[in-house]
Amino acid sequence: MLVRDPAGARYFIGSRLHRLAFSAIMTSQSTGATHALLRRLVEELQETCNIGMLDGQEVIYVDRVECDWPLRVQLKIGSHVPIHCTAIGKLLLAHQDTDNRQRLLGPPPLIRYTANTITDLQLLEAELDRILDQGYSVNHQEDAVGLIALAVPVRDPWGNIIAGLAVHAPEARLSLGRVREILPQLNETATKISAAMFAGDIGQEQDKVD
């Protein structure tokens, strides 16, 4: 359930606890509500959207709705993608402390997928700091040529970032300019998804207060 850091006395979530958490999320009562919100967003944007969380040193898609365009990236719920060159991956990485960033990235060198993949650690750190400042992450053809993506955080009721919500599409349909235009829609949906995910927890906390 837990893994001990060989270099120190810290413990991290192990693979068994990760699988248990993802199973709970994907089969919980809130899943229907969050999936409906995701589907509505796809209908509005006409592009594929997904929700991803950290799973070891990768991102796992815990929910996903494909668009109807014939030209699209087809991945299933449960698929894993790299952390250092995807919109959700960089977003979640940006909100880790220095030690966790190093642990999640692993030993160098970082894998280069395209000419735009950031493999220099100093440049990646600068990118992560920029993501923290602006509150969202953009993937500009970093894991696949021609693919653009935008990710925003999904938070728990206490403000902790527990997932990322992303939209991605070919550059021909989703330019960098349009990415910023749809940012408000993504943030609004992320807020609704958070409320749906934790509706029971918020109610229990309110009962305690009352």
For 196-207, write each residue's pLDDT tens digit.
Answer: 887 755 444 444
Q: In this structure, are residues 35 and 42 in contact, taking their beta carbons and an 8 Å threshold?
A: no
CB within 8 Å of 38: residues ≥ 6 apart: 49, 50, 51, 63, 64, 65, 165, 189, 193
pLDDT score at 109: 93
pLDDT score at 48: 93
- pLDDT average, residue stretch 99-123: 94
For 21-56, write each residue's pLDDT tens digit.
Answer: 555 555 554 468 888 999 999 999 999 999 999 988
pLDDT score at 18: 54
For 123-143, write each residue's pLDDT tens digit.
Answer: 999 999 999 999 999 999 999
Closest by Cα among 176, 73, 75, 165 to 116: 176
DSSP 17-76: HHHHHHHHHHHSTTHHHHHHHHHHHHHHH-SEEEEEEEETTEEEEEEEE--S-SSS----
DSSP 148-197: EEEEEEEE-TTS-EEEEEEEEEETTTS-HHHHHHSHHHHHHHHHHHHHHH
pLDDT score at 77: 83
pLDDT score at 68: 85
Query: What is the C-alpha to C-alpha distance for residues 175 and 149, in angstroms, rounded to an integer?
Result: 9
Q: In this structure, are residues 163 and 22 in contact, taking their beta carbons and an 8 Å threshold?
A: no
Query: What is the C-alpha to C-alpha distance for residues 183 and 19, in angstroms, rounded to an integer?
Result: 31
Mean pLDDT over the full length of the chain = 84
Query: What is the C-alpha to C-alpha distance for residues 145 and 148, in angstroms, rounded to an integer?
Result: 9
